[in-house]
Amino acid sequence: MSEELQNCQIDRCPDAAKRHCAHCERPICDRHTIADYHYLPGGQRPYCLECDAERQQLYQAMRVQGLRAIIWSGIGAIIGTFLGHTAGTLLSPDSFTHTVATDVGFLIGLGGALLGAIVPVGPGKRSN
């Protein structure tokens, strides 16, 4: 049982295909293979040049979104902590109340900012 040899399907390449792209499953030769993914679970995953470029674009977009979430969550946590501490001070002279109000403000500010940072942005919505 031998597999039928196929030619690479990238840019009408005449070379014999030795692998299939892990994303689009097109037959690809060694010249059109990006296979340096040793850091991914599951070992080597060969990608064709086109799928690798798409993967890199998605990675960069997610990297920016992750950085945005970190920055917004930090700002939200600081504002929430300040507002919680202020509310605790105004509501009660007890230091335990100040601590609880500060912690609750921190969590509310952090959660609200994270939700605001990871909400998908679509047409007609705000963009950061």
Distance of alpha carbon 118 from alpha carbon 128, whole angstroms: 11
What sign for the dihedral angle of Cα 81, 102, 95, 88? positive
pLDDT digits (tens, 9 = 90+) for 79-89: 888 888 888 88
- Residue 101's Cβ-side half-sphere holds a number of Cα atoms within 13 Å equal to 17
Token digits for 114?
A: 């994270």
- In this prediction, residue 128 carries a pLDDT of 44
Query: Does residue 68 register a pLDDT over 70?
Result: yes
